[in-house]
Amino acid sequence: MTAAPIARSDFQVSGSHQKHMESAVQNPSRSHIDHPTAYRMWFRDLLWRAFPAGSDAARAERAARVLDVSERQVRNWLRCEHDPKLRYVMAVIAIAGAEVVFK
């Protein structure tokens, strides 16, 4: 036995309910929170915690040696210009300590 398809016209939705439904599903590009930037800032803060240094140049040099990436890559992370791969996130979490992640 097959069910008949349900037509969109079978549902009656009031105008106010329709607006509520539309506002519940927001367009991510219009969101006031920029998730990629927030993630990058979180990772930048984690780098600061894992590699304390007097300057970003010293921090980049130190982190680059430990993570086996270029200093330029670390500077890009510190400026929140690039997303790190998961392996680098996990390595920095391990260095910074898991308690930092849960704060």
H helices present in 51-80, as ranges: 56-67, 71-78
Amino acid letter at 76?
Answer: N
In a domain, 30, yes or no: no
Number of structural domains found in the chain: 1
Return d(Cα 67, Cα 58) in angstroms, integer. Answer: 14
Q: What is the domain extent for residue 60? A: 44-101
In a domain, 36, yes or no: no
In a domain, 35, yes or no: no
In a domain, 4, yes or no: no
In a domain, 58, yes or no: yes
Q: Are 51 and 66 in contact, with CB atoms under 8 Å apart?
A: yes
In a domain, 3, yes or no: no
In a domain, 13, yes or no: no
pLDDT, residue 15, reads 52
In a domain, 23, yes or no: no
Model confidence over 45-58: pLDDT tens digits?
999 999 999 999 99
Any idea what the Cα angle at residue 87 is, between residues 84 and 91, rounded to 5°?
100
Give the whole-number percent of the chain exceeding pLDDT 70: 61
**Given the structure tokens 């980049």, which residue do they identify?**
60
